[in-house]
Structures are given as structure tokens and as C-alpha cells.
């Protein structure tokens, strides 16, 4: 693995999925560091599941570096109910970008996956080498299989073609530009919205899916973006890297922290007819720490930041809606 930094603020950098939570955070981080030659396209401008469109775009724009942050994502409900969509769309996006990048001569590429790639009953904390060591969690197996395929594409393009493509596997993410849909979002944004709305209604209870016992690790998306840029600037060109905080909390603890941030004074009720998902998912982040990086934003501080952003977004949405109706 070559640790020689060839990227500069003048480098042409393509960030796919730049309007999503992850992609937008990477763009913010790059811009804050002075990178100005960013190549960005919306889904309307470039459908990443269209192979020829992707090949033509990369051949024309000739980015030197690529962050593969585009993906079809969601929580337990979305993963379990749109299984075909999740595996097909993610396979197409990553295959088109990786093959297209190779054809266009991209110097270095970073592929973003998810900690759900690891087996359901992994030893904890989860090391990178535990990949493919056991069965996956069934509720998100299609998404996980697609992301594993992306990792293996990077590995084998490196072996066959001498490319410098590497993968990062973040834990559960939260922060600006998250999806707050109650059915299709991840647990943290869904809980934050439910708690906020329960507080506004003056509810006495807050219903949470599952038993509240599963343990989860949460990483603020700005920390993720910092890690992604850190790796690219370090000259990393292969391998798999876990990105997380190295600590976790139960879903019950998460809900209690959110209630405190929002100011909801009711009590928690757990709907045990709903699935818990993986019992525990804590990443071993020693590989990143050895390189000199670790997360900086504590969960409570990150939750407070995220809630302030959510409230502001809701105010802006309300103002736009009423201005349109007027």
C-alpha cells in the first residue's frame, strides 16, 4: 500500500451522491480544505445505474480522484421491503463507477460501504478480517451483498489492473441531510423525528421498535467525511478500513439521549413485535487509529447539533410551504 500523497487542492475530484448525507459531508470537508476542482452531478443530470452514461461522463470529465458515496440506503423497513431494489441499484451504481473509473484512468478511488457487510453474529468488536466469516443479517442481506461485491471489485481491479481503489466501512451515521422518513430511515433519524413530534403533541409515551436491547455505534457524518479525506490525502490505495467511534450504546440509551436533547418528558414503550436486527454491531477501529485518525464528535454533542439542524430544516420547510400556498 503506497502512502504517498499525490492529491492537491487543484486535483479534479468527483464525489458521487453529493446531495446525500455522506456525499454532501465529503463536499463540505473538501471545500473547507481548499479543494476547488470538484465534479458534481445530480441524479437528474447523471443516472449512475445507466452504464453508458457513467462511462461517457467519466471519460469526458477525467477526474483524478473519485469518492463513491452514491447508494440506495435505508433502515430495517426499507431494506427488508425493497430487497430487489437495494441489491440491483447498488450493484449497478458501484459496477458502473468502478469499471468506468478504470477505463477513464482514475488515479485513486474510495468506495463507501456499510458495517452491515459483516456477519450477523460477529465477534465484537468487528475487525476488517471478519468479512465473509459467517451468515449475514437477513433483513439487510441484499444491501450487504451488493456492498461486499463493491469491496471485491476494488480488490480485484487492483490485483488485475494495478489500480488504487480502496474501501471504507462506516458504522451507523447521522447528521445534516439525513433521511427522516419514519418508515424508510435509519434508527437514529427516525427516533429523533418521532421524539420531536411526540414532544410537540404533548404525548405521554414514545413508542420504539424492538426490545431496546441491541447495541449500536453512531458516527457523526462530519467525522466520517474527515476520515474519508484523511485517507485520500494519506495516499491510501488499497484495503478495507472500518470507520467508527469504537464505542456503542443500546437502542434504549439512544432513545433516552434523544429524549433529553429534544426535551421530551414522557416514558418509553417498546414494540417487541418489531424486529431488532443485529444484536450488536461495534467496529474495531484500530486500523484507523494506527494511521493517526479518530472520531472527535461525542454522541450527545452530535445529537444536539443534529437536532438543531433538523428543527431549522423543519422551519424552512414550513415557511416554503406556506409561502407557496399564499
Binding-site annotation, residues for substrate? 194, 209, 216, 276
Facing residues of 15 across strands? Answer: 67
| Nearest partner of 76 among 240, 257, 271, judged by Cα | 271
Instruction: Please pick, among 65, 118, 143, 165, the residue that the annotation labels catalytic.
Output: 143
Q: What is the DSSP letter of 283?
A: B
**Whole-angstrom distance, CA of residue 188 vs CA of residue 105:** 39
For the chain, the straight-line distance linking the first and the last C-alpha, in angstroms and rounded, comes to: 60
Active site residue 143: yes
- Omega before 127 within 30 of 0, i.e. cis: no
Hey, what's the cell of 214?
Answer: 441491541
Residue numbers in the known binding site are 17-23, 112-115, 147, 170-173, 186, 194, 209, 216, 276
Residue numbers in the known binding site for NADP(+) are 17-23, 112-115, 147, 170-173, 186
* CA-angle at 70, arms to 285 and 41, nearest 5°: 135
| Nearest partner of 86 among 99, 98, 75, 101, judged by Cα | 75
Give catalytic residue positions: 143
Amino acid at each position: 500500500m503506497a502512502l504517498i500523497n499525490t492529491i492537491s487542492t487543484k486535483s479534479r475530484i468527483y464525489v458521487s451522491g453529493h446531495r446525500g448525507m455522506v456525499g454532501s459531508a465529503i463536499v463540505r470537508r473538501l471545500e473547507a480544505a481548499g479543494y476547488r476542482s470538484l465534479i458534481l452531478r445530480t441524479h437528474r443530470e447523471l443516472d449512475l445505474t445507466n452504464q453508458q452514461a457513467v462511462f461517457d461522463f467519466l471519460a469526458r470529465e477525467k477526474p483524478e480522484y473519485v469518492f463513491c458515496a452514491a447508494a440506495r440506503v435505508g433502515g430495517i423497513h426499507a431494506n427488508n421491503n425493497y430487497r430487489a431494489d437495494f441489491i440491483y441499484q447498488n450493484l449497478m451504481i458501484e459496477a458502473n463507477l468502478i469499471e468506468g473509473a478504470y477505463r477513464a484512468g482514475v488515479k485513486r478511488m474510495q468506495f463507501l460501504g456499510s458495517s452491515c457487510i459483516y456477519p450477523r453474529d460477529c465477534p465484537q468488536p468487528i475487525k476488517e478480517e471478519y468479512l465473509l466469516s459467517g451468515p449475514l443479517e437477513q433483513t439487510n442481506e441484499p444491501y450487504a451483498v451488493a456492498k461486499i461485491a463493491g469491496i471485491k471489485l476494488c480488490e480485484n481491479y487492483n490485483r488485475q489492473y494495478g489500480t488504487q481503489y480502496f474501501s471504507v466501512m462506516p458504522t451507523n451515521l447521522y447528521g445534516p441531510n439525513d433521511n427522516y422518513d419514519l418508515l424508510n430511515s435509519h434508527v437514529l433519524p427516525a427516533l429523533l423525528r418521532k421524539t420531536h413530534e411526540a414532544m410537540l403533541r404533548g404525548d405521554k409515551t414514545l413508542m420504539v421498535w424492538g426490545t431496546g436491547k441491541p447495541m449500536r455505534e453512531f458516527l457523526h457524518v462530519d467525522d466520517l467525511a474527515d476520515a474519508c479525506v484523511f485517507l485520500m490525502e494519506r495516499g491510501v490505495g488499497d484495503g478495507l478500513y472500518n470507520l467508527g467511534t469504537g464505542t456503542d450504546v443500546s437502542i434504549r440509551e439512544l432513545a433516552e439521549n434523544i429524549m433529553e436533547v429534544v426535551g421530551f418528558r414522557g416514558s418509553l414503550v417498546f414494540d417487541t413485535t418489531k424486529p431488532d436486527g443485529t444484536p450488536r454491531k461495534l467496529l474495531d477501529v484500530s486500523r484507523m487509529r494506527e494511521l493517526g485518525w479518530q472520531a472527535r464528535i461525542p454522541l450527545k454533542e452530535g445529537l444536539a447539533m443534529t437536532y438543531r439542524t433538523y428543527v431549522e430544516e423543519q422551519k424552512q420547510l414550513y415557511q416554503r410551504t406556506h409561502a407557496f400556498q399564499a
